Structure formats: C-alpha cells, structure tokens
Chain A
Amino acid sequence: MLLLNTIAEFFQNYTIQIVFTGSLILGITAGCLGTFAVLRQQSLLGDAIAHATLPGVCLAFLITQTKNPFVLLLGAGISGWIASLFLKLIVENTKLKKDAALGIILSVFFGLGLLLITIVQKLPTATKAGLDKFIFGNAATLLKQDVMMMSAFSIFIFLVLIVFWKEFKILVFDRDYAASQGMPVHFFDVFLTTLIVIAIVIGLQTVGVVLMSAMLVAPAAAARQWTDRLGVMLFLSALFGAISGTFGAITSSMVSNLPTGPTIVIFLSIFVLVSLVFAPNRGLLWDWIRSYRNRKTILTTTMLQNLLLFSEIQTDPFHPHDISALKAIGRGAIDKTMKELSRKGWAQQFEDKRWALTPKGLDKARKLTKEYEETISGFSSA
C-alpha cells in the first residue's frame, strides 16, 4: 500500500504528469514512424533531418521574437523539410552517394543553426533564449501547451497511418509493383518523409536534435526481432518507444545533472540489446543454440556412419573399435560424441575404451546412409 501511495503521489505532481505524457506521446509516435524508416533503410535520414531543424528554430525566433513553441516547431519542421528536398536534389542530380549527401546536409544545416544561435544569444531581447535545450533536449522544461501540440501532431500521424496503412506497406515492400497498380508512389514518398519530419519535430524539446534519430531507429530495430508481422512490429515499436521515453524522461527529471536525451538512449539501447540476443526465433541466443545442436547432430551421425563403415570391413557389424582409431578419423570432441551415442543407445563401450555399434545403432546408421544416398541421387536426377 505504501508503494501504491508513493506512485499515486508521484503522478499527482504536475511537472511529472507533463513530462510523462509528453515523453509517452513522443515514444509512441517515433516508434511508429521509425518502423517505416528502418524498413526503408532510411535510418540515418532521421539523423540528418533532426540536425537540420536547428536553423529553423533559430530563424523562427529571430523573425517572430517569441518563444511560442508552435512557432519554433513550425520553423523546425519547415527547415527539416527543406533539408529533405536538398537531399533529393543532391542524390538525383549528382553521382555523390546518399551517405555524403546526408553528411553534408546534417553538418552544414547544424552549423548554420549554431551560427544563428550565437546571434540569438547576443540579442538584448533574448534573456537567455533557451534555444540550446533543442540540442540535448530537456523534458523538465515541457509545458502543458507543448504537450497539447505534440498530441495534436501525433493524432494526425495516427489517422494518416490508419487510413493509408496498406499503401505505406506496399510502398515500403515493393515500390515498383505499387506503381504498376497505379499508385502515386512519388506522392507517398514525400508524404512518408513529411510524417517523419513531424515525428522529429515532436521530439525536439524532449530528446534534442543530436539524439532524435535514436528515438526513431532503436524501438523499430528492437521490435523487428520479436515479430514477422508489420502490424505487430509497429505496435511493439510504439510500446518500446513509450517505455524508454517515459522511463528516460522521468529518471532524468528526478536525478540532477542527467540530460534527458542521453538517458532515453540508454533505455532504448537496453531494449535493442535484449531483443538482439533473446528475442524468440530471431535472437542470437537461439542462433547459437541451433548451431550447437546442429553441430552435435552432425558429429554424432557422422560417427555412427563411420562405425558402420568400419564394421562392414570387419564382417562383424558389432566389432569393437579402439577409441584412438575413432579419434584419428573423427572431428571435434570424440569422447563427448561417443557418450552422446551411448546415451541414445546407438553404441556401447567395452572395457579398455573400445566402442561398438548396438543393433539399434546399426539400424539407425543403415537408415541414415540410405537417406543420404537418396538425397544425392535426387539431386542428380533433378
């Protein structure tokens, strides 16, 4: 009960409520759109666009002289969108590759933003304008109106995703085929990029431009490991984004000197790491177990067939062989393999470390050899 009370008190705190809601919305939205970014192999596009929003924020402030979040974020969005057009311009008109174009856009736009920030800071009207919170993000400075605006944007994104679900799905999977069915693929390309720009803008105040890309990439990368369905992946990605976002934001606003963006990234990375290793089926752990089992099966069946081969020369199929002879022809840890064979009842050990087939083992070995020969002849006849 005490714990529940503490939690209840915790959520009655106004600042915490704001931080919690804001980072929840951010995590869900970024998780959803990150799914498409990762599947389109555009993970680093988010990084470039996020950095490119900075000059927009500064220019919006310089022009309007207000810190109204809507105005600043509108500036951010326009600037990010222009950056994505520049990217298209470079990639489509030169032989420069996408990575170079992304690098240029990312760093030059950010440099311009920096130049503008220093100008803003020297303005007499800018009482420490607080624009630098856009760089690393600070969830604690979120206001109610910020969260309202973030919700509006993310509701828009959800509606669009629901309405155009099958269109986005086929666009990402097979663009040419979509076009062959008469779908306006160019329009949807730009549309999807615009949605990604909006998701980035939502996160700017909380995570900041430097780490916003991780907010897009990590939840989707983790979610991909757990499922083979796009819809489930989107849901899990939103869930992972929401958990990392809220945990990170709340931790950072409760512990002193803990910046929000990096804290969220730590939580995100834990999700990715756990997913890469432990996700059922796709996880590395299962890969390792599978390859260990495969190796064991191959070693035991090969040994069994070797024993059969030996025994036919001897005319007595159950003739015992010295372990050293088996070691000379076999691979891997022979002792372990022989134990496995005897555990299965396919071979038995005699005194002085000699091994022989059992009747059951002989049957199995003959069956294996027959299957093997059938596979070979099947290949050659096909």
Chain B
Amino acid sequence: MDSHQLDILILAALTAVTCALPGVFLVLRRVSLMSDAISHAILLGIVVAFLFTKKLASPWLVIGAAVVGVLTVSLTELIINTRKLKKDAAIGLVFPLLFSIGVILINKYIQGVHLDADCVIFGEIAFAPFDRFVINHIDLGPRSLWTTGAVFLLNLTFILVFYKELKLTTFDKGLAAALGFFPTLLNYLLMTIVSVTAVASFESVGSILVVALMIAPPSAAYLLTNRLSTMILISGILGILSALGGYFLAYVLDASISGSMATFAGILFFLALIFAPEKGILAKILVRRWKKWNFASETLSVHLLQAEYAHAEETERVVSHMSDHMLWNDDYTSEAIAQAIEDGLIRKEGNRLTLTPLGREKAKNILEKK
C-alpha cells in the first residue's frame, strides 16, 4: 500500500466517523431525511460562495453551506407552519429547488473548475491525496484530511459539550423546553453541524452518500444497543468498518470508492437487521416461535380456568372441542396441548384436559394481571 492509498483510507475512515456522530441524533429524532435535504441544498451555498471568492478552498464555502443548510430547515418549517402542506411534502419541495438552482448556476457560470454536478453527486475521494496542504514549502498531507479532521473535532466537541441537552431534547422535547433547554435552538445547532459535516464530506463522498454514512451506521447501531453512549460508539466503529470494507471492495472491483463505502454500510446495516441479538429479524422469528407456543399453552390454560369458573359441561374440556372452540386447526391444537403438557400446565386423561395446580396458578395470574 503506498502513501496515497493510506491517505485515502484514513480520510475515508475519518469522514465516516464524522458523519456518524450527528447521524445518531438525526436517526433518534426521526429527522433522518433532513440529512438528504441539507446535503443537497448546501450545494447552492457552496456555489454562491464560490462565485464571490473564486476559490475552492475558502472558509466562505463552509459558511455559505451552513447558511443554506439552516435556510433549508427554516423554509421547510415555514411551509409546515402555514398548514397548507404536510411535513413530507414540504421537505420534498424545498431541497430540490435549492439544489436545482445550485446545479444550474454551476452549469451556467462555472466551467473548467473542479466543481461540477457530477463531482457533487459522486464525490471523488481518489483525488483527495493530490490536493496537498502546504505551508512554507512543508507538505502537511492532503488538505481534505485537515478539513475533515477539524470538522470531526467540532462534532466531537459539540456532542461532548451538549451531551445532556441533546439527550434530553431528543427523548423529551416538552420536558427539555420546560427546564429551559431551548430545544429549537439546539435543533438549529444540530442542523448547522449537519450542514458543516456535509460540506466537508461532500468533496470525498458526494452529497447522496453523505446520507448513507450519516444514517446507515447509526441505524444499525440502534438495532444493536439501547444505550445512547453505546450507540454513538458502535456507530463510529461501523462507520470505520464501512470505510475500510468499502475501500477494499472498490479496490477489488476497481470501482467508485464512495459508492463501495455506501454499499458496505448498507451490507453492515442489513447484517444488523437480520442478526442483531434482540431487535434483529432472526431473533424476532425465534422469539415469536417460542412465544407462539408459550402463548398457545397459556391460552389453553386460561380457557380451561374460565371453563372451571363457569362450571361448564364436560364437553368444554375435551380435546376435540378445543380446536373447534378456539378456531385452531387440529395440528395447531395438538401442538399447543403438547406444549402445555410439557410446560406442566395441563394434564391429559384419555380425551379430557384438566389444569395442574401450576397451570391454575398461572392462568389466574394472567387473568388478574391488567
């Protein structure tokens, strides 16, 4: 591996972690798609700032992006507040407009610079090592490594400083407002952070794949843990894994690095979706199967108890009656009876079912519990 490849790898991993940090809060606050809206809309800010400064490496580009990011959020909220349109439609109207203006400005007024619509969508991390940060003839490494590093520190500081506030406003907005924590202000701060992160990552991974790095690792982490701090940690780790895995996937297939990173992030999410220990689909199927029979045997004992209370005739307690009454098919009924006998809840004498003391106790508990 040469030094350029190493540069790319480090930059990819750093970008992924930087995106994952605010992404955790977007996912938890159910505003994941604001990342999509913002990462598109900020193009307008970048283009306008570029038209004034004529430099790609100007801090004004970041400021322009942040301003348009906040503008996207406030325009969307403005439309929602008129109550003429619903939230999803408002989001779906604002960002395409801002993005379109940006694309048209690029096409009409910016030619031959390293800023075109394709680069906006795709990003090209492979070129990053060639843009060096040089002070006094000393090569300090790729420029984007420095900018992304700075944004990473900014995001980390933001989350560390406002951890308690972010947590509270995310989980209980009303209480946060009552305690004087300014949830609206914090929301705008978070959206500014998202905009700045998007503009920094944009050059390497492109506007749409920023969304993959912001949303997929935190969503996977959400399926793996119930604690906020652990979720942030896992999101970061999954982000780095997406970067590394994506890089090697791209190397093997000789394909776009950013595309591969998003694909790999998607694969990791899919694995979490299937295999996550508690919230994964596989775990749910297993639990569901276990619960189904558990539930069936409990239902049987509750039914028998009700029959005892009602002093129902003998027929209520006969095996053949069960499938008829519960609208279960015969296989299901015999399976349920077998399960209930195995659990020690009922006894079968000939064709007749009776509750064991344990079964009676359990059924009573179920009925009395609210």
Contact flag (A, B; Cβ within 8 A): yes
Q: In the complex, what residue of chain A is closest to B94 when comparing beta carbons?
A: A269
In contact, B266 and A111 (Cβ under 8 angstroms): yes
In contact, B88 and A41 (Cβ under 8 angstroms): yes
Beyond the given A103-B214, A103-B215, A111-B263, please list 16 additional residue pairs across the A-B interface where CB-CB is below 8 A: A42-B88, A46-B92, A90-B273, A93-B284, A97-B32, A104-B212, A104-B215, A106-B208, A111-B212, A115-B260, A117-B259, A136-B103, A225-B84, A266-B101, A269-B96, A287-B82
In contact, B33 and A115 (Cβ under 8 angstroms): no
Could you say which residues of chain A place their CB within 8 Å of the CB of B31?
A: 99
How far is it, in angstroms, between the C-alpha of A308 and the C-alpha of B281 when the chains are bound? 73
State whether the Cβ of B15 lies closer than 8 Å to any Cβ in chain A: no
Could you say which residues of chain B place their CB within 8 Å of the CB of A43?
A: 86, 88-89, 91-92
User: Total interface residues on A, using CB and 8 Å?
Assistant: 63
In contact, A114 and B259 (Cβ under 8 angstroms): yes
Proximity string of chain B (208-232) to chain A, C-beta cutoff 8 Å, 1 when within and 0 when not: 1111101110010011000000000
Smallest CB–CB gap between A28 and chain B, Å? 19
Write 24 A-B pairs (CB below 8 A) sorted by A numbering: A43-B89, A96-B222, A100-B30, A101-B219, A103-B216, A107-B209, A107-B211, A108-B265, A108-B266, A109-B266, A114-B122, A115-B255, A115-B260, A118-B254, A119-B255, A214-B100, A217-B89, A221-B89, A221-B93, A224-B85, A257-B107, A265-B96, A265-B100, A284-B84
In contact, A110 and B103 (Cβ under 8 angstroms): no
How far is it, in angstroms, between the C-alpha of A89 and the C-alpha of B282 when the chains are bound? 13
State whether the Cβ of A276 lies closer than 8 Å to any Cβ in chain B: yes
Which A243-275 residues have a C-beta within 8 angstroms of B? 257-259, 261-263, 265-266, 269, 272
Could you say which residues of chain B place their CB within 8 Å of the CB of A261?
A: 100, 103
Could you say which residues of chain A place their CB within 8 Å of the CB of B237?
A: none
State whether the Cβ of A282 lies closer than 8 Å to any Cβ in chain B: yes
Q: In the complex, what residue of chain A is closest to B254 when comparing beta carbons?
A: A122
Smallest CB–CB gap between B112 and chain A, Å? 12
Q: In the complex, what residue of chain A is closest to B121 when comparing beta carbons?
A: A135
In contact, A112 and B223 (Cβ under 8 angstroms): no
In contact, B93 and A259 (Cβ under 8 angstroms): no
Could you say which residues of chain B place their CB within 8 Å of the CB of A320?
A: none
Could you say which residues of chain A place their CB within 8 Å of the CB of B117?
A: 136, 259
In contact, A214 and B93 (Cβ under 8 angstroms): yes
State whether the Cβ of A238 lies closer than 8 Å to any Cβ in chain B: no
Chain A residues near B (Cβ < 8 Å): 38, 41-44, 46-47, 51, 89-90, 93-97, 99-104, 106-119, 122, 132, 135-136, 210-211, 213-214, 217-218, 220-221, 224-225, 257-259, 261-263, 265-266, 269, 272, 276, 282, 284, 287
Which B271-306 residues have a C-beta within 8 angstroms of A? 273, 279, 281, 284
Q: A100-B27, A214-B93 are in contact. Are A115 and B121 (CB under 8 A)?
A: no
State whether the Cβ of B118 lies closer than 8 Å to any Cβ in chain A: yes
Residue B253 contacts which of A97, A119, A214 (CB distance < 8 angstroms)?
Answer: A119
Which B76-111 residues have a C-beta within 8 angstroms of A? 79, 82, 84-89, 91-93, 96-97, 99-101, 103-104, 107-108
Q: In the complex, what residue of chain A is closest to B27 when comparing beta carbons?
A: A100
Could you say which residues of chain B place their CB within 8 Å of the CB of A116?
A: 255, 259
In contact, A269 and B263 (Cβ under 8 angstroms): no
In contact, B97 and A266 (Cβ under 8 angstroms): yes
How far is it, in angstroms, between the C-alpha of A10 and the C-alpha of B92 when the chains are bound? 34
Q: In the complex, what residue of chain B is closest to A105 when comparing beta carbons?
A: B266
How far is it, in angstroms, between the C-alpha of A269 and the C-alpha of B223 when the chains are bound? 38
Chain B residues near A (Cβ < 8 Å): 27, 30-33, 35-36, 40, 79, 82, 84-89, 91-93, 96-97, 99-101, 103-104, 107-108, 117-118, 121-122, 206, 208-212, 214-216, 219, 222-223, 249-250, 253-256, 258-263, 265-266, 269, 273, 279, 281, 284
In contact, A259 and B30 (Cβ under 8 angstroms): no
Smallest CB–CB gap between A289 and chain B, Å? 15
Residue A259 contacts which of B32, B104, B250 (CB distance < 8 angstroms)?
Answer: B104
How far is it, in angstroms, between the C-alpha of A257 and the C-alpha of B103 when the chains are bound? 10
Could you say which residues of chain B place their CB within 8 Å of the CB of A225?
A: 84
Smallest CB–CB gap between A23 and chain B, Å? 16
Could you say which residues of chain A place their CB within 8 Å of the CB of B88?
A: 41-44
Could you say which residues of chain A place their CB within 8 Å of the CB of B261?
A: 111
In contact, B281 and A93 (Cβ under 8 angstroms): yes
Q: A104-B212, A107-B262 are in contact. Are A99 and B121 (CB under 8 A)?
A: no
How far is it, in angstroms, between the C-alpha of A270 and the C-alpha of B121 when the chains are bound? 25
Q: In the complex, what residue of chain A is closest to B284 when comparing beta carbons?
A: A93
Q: In the complex, what residue of chain A is closest to B268 when comparing beta carbons?
A: A108
Q: A99-B31, A265-B100 are in contact. Are A107 and B215 (CB under 8 A)?
A: yes
How far is it, in angstroms, between the C-alpha of A89 and the C-alpha of B85 when the chains are bound? 28
Residue A99 contacts which of B32, B265, B266 (CB distance < 8 angstroms)?
Answer: B32
How far is it, in angstroms, between the C-alpha of A282 and the C-alpha of B85 when the chains are bound? 11
How far is it, in angstroms, between the C-alpha of A47 and the C-alpha of B261 when the chains are bound? 21
In contact, A114 and B99 (Cβ under 8 angstroms): no
Residue A262 contacts which of B93, B104, B260 (CB distance < 8 angstroms)?
Answer: B104
Residue B279 contacts which of A94, A115, A135 (CB distance < 8 angstroms)?
Answer: A94
Could you say which residues of chain A place their CB within 8 Å of the CB of B214?
A: 103
How far is it, in angstroms, between the C-alpha of A266 and the C-alpha of B101 when the chains are bound? 8
